[in-house]
C-alpha cells in the first residue's frame, strides 16, 4: 500500500507540475514599446521558423509599437542580443546570411594597444556570415581589448544552390520601414553555447537611449 501511494503521489507530482511557456519580455520608452519572445533551443527555433537552421542560431520574435502620434523608423541593426553568461553581443543576421547561396568566412580581430591581430576561424555553416562582436578584458598589461568577428565572402560561392529556407526567412523577418502602427517579425541571432533564459537580454536603440528587455519563462 505504501508503494502504491508513493507511485500515485509521484504520478500526480509529474502531471500536476506547471508546464513552462516560452521566454517573454517587454520594455518601453517615450518612443516605442517592444514585446519579445525568445526561442533559444533548436527545437523551438525549428517550430517557429518552419524549418531547421544551423546550430547556434536563436530567434527572437518582436512586436514593435511606436508611441502614440509618433512615426518610428525600424532598423534591424538597432537590436542587440546579449548573453550575460558569455558576454557575447550579437546583431541580427539577414535571411541571405543564414540561408543564401553565399558562403561567408569569419576571422576574429583583437583591437587594443599594439595593433590588430587576426585569426582565421574558417567557413561558417555554408551560408552564414556577419559580425558578432565580443568584449573582453586585456591580459597582463591591464589594457582593455575587444575581439570582433569580421565576415568576408568566399570566391565562387555564388555557384551554390539557394536554400529553400531563404523565402521563408524573408517572409517572417521583421521588416525595415517607417511605421505608425504596431508591426511584428522575427530576428535571427548567433549565440554560441547553451543559453539560460535569465542570462539573455535584448536591447533596442531609440532616440532616448536603449530599451532593455530581460526574458522570463512564464507558465503557459
Confidence at 12, pLDDT banded by 50, 70, 90: very low
Q: What is the pLDDT of residue 163?
A: 75
Confidence at 68, pLDDT banded by 50, 70, 90: very high
Single out the residue of 67, 68, 88, 97 nearest to residue 187, CA to CA: 97
- From 161, 181, 204, the end of a domain falls on 161
Q: What is the pLDDT of residue 220?
A: 56
- Per-residue exposure over 50-80, b if at least 16 CB sit within 10 Å of its own CB, e if not: eeebeebbbbbbbebbbeeeeebebebebbb
- From 118, 145, 161, the end of a domain falls on 161
Percent of the chain surpassing pLDDT 90: 52
For the question of whether the overall pTM of this predicted structure is more than 0.75, the answer is no
Instruction: Let me know whether 150 and 117 are in one domain.
Output: yes
CA distances from 99 to 89, 92, 165 (A): 21, 14, 6
**Helix (H, G, I), strand (E, B), or coil: what is residue 9?**
helix
In a domain, 1, yes or no: no
DSSP 8-state assignment for residue 78: G
Instruction: Let me know whether 171 and 214 are in one domain.
Output: yes
For residue range 143-165, list pLDDT tens digits in order: 444 444 444 444 444 455 667 89
In a domain, 4, yes or no: no
| Mean pLDDT score, 171-176 | 97
Single out the residue of 191, 198, 194, 190 nearest to residue 217, CA to CA: 198
For residue range 26-66, list pLDDT tens digits in order: 999 999 999 999 999 999 999 999 999 988 999 999 999 99
Instruction: Let me know whether 75 and 172 are in one domain.
Output: yes
Domain that includes residue 116, residue range: 101-161
**CA pair distance 109, 119, nearest whole angstrom:** 6
Instruction: Let me know whether 73 and 113 are in one domain.
Output: no
- From 161, 196, 212, the end of a domain falls on 161
Amino acid at each position: 500500500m505504501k508503494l502504491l501511494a508513493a507511485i500515485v503521489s509521484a504520478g500526480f507530482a509529474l502531471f500536476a507540475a506547471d508546464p513552462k511557456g516560452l521566454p517573454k519580455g517587454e520594455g518601453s520608452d517615450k518612443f516605442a514599446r517592444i514585446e519579445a519572445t525568445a526561442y533559444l533551443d533548436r527545437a523551438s527555433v525549428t517550430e517557429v521558423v518552419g524549418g531547421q537552421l544551423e546550430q547556434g542560431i536563436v530567434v527572437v520574435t518582436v512586436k514593435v509599437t511606436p508611441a502614440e502620434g509618433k512615426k518610428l523608423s525600424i532598423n534591424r541593426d538597432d537590436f542587440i542580443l546579449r548573453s550575460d553568461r558569455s558576454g557575447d553581443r550579437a546583431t541580427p543576421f539577414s535571411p541571405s546570411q543564414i540561408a543564401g547561396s553565399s558562403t561567408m568566412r569569419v576571422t576574429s580581430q583583437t583591437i587594443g594597444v599594439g595593433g590588430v591581430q587576426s585569426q582565421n576561424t574558417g567557413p561558417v555553416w555554408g551560408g552564414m556570415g556577419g559580425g558578432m562582436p565580443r568584449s573582453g578584458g586585456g591580459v597582463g598589461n591591464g589594457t582593455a581589448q575587444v575581439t570582433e568577428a569580421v565576415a568576408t565572402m568566399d570566391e565562387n560561392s555564388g555557384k551554390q544552390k539557394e536554400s529553400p529556407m531563404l523565402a521563408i526567412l524573408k517572409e517572417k523577418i521583421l521588416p525595415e520601414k517607417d511605421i505608425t502602427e504596431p508591426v511584428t517579425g522575427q530576428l535571427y541571432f548567433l549565440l554560441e553555447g547553451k543559453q539560460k533564459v535569465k542570462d539573455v537580454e535584448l536591447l533596442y536603440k531609440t532616440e532616448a537611449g536603449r530599451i532593455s528587455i530581460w526574458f522570463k519563462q512564464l507558465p503557459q
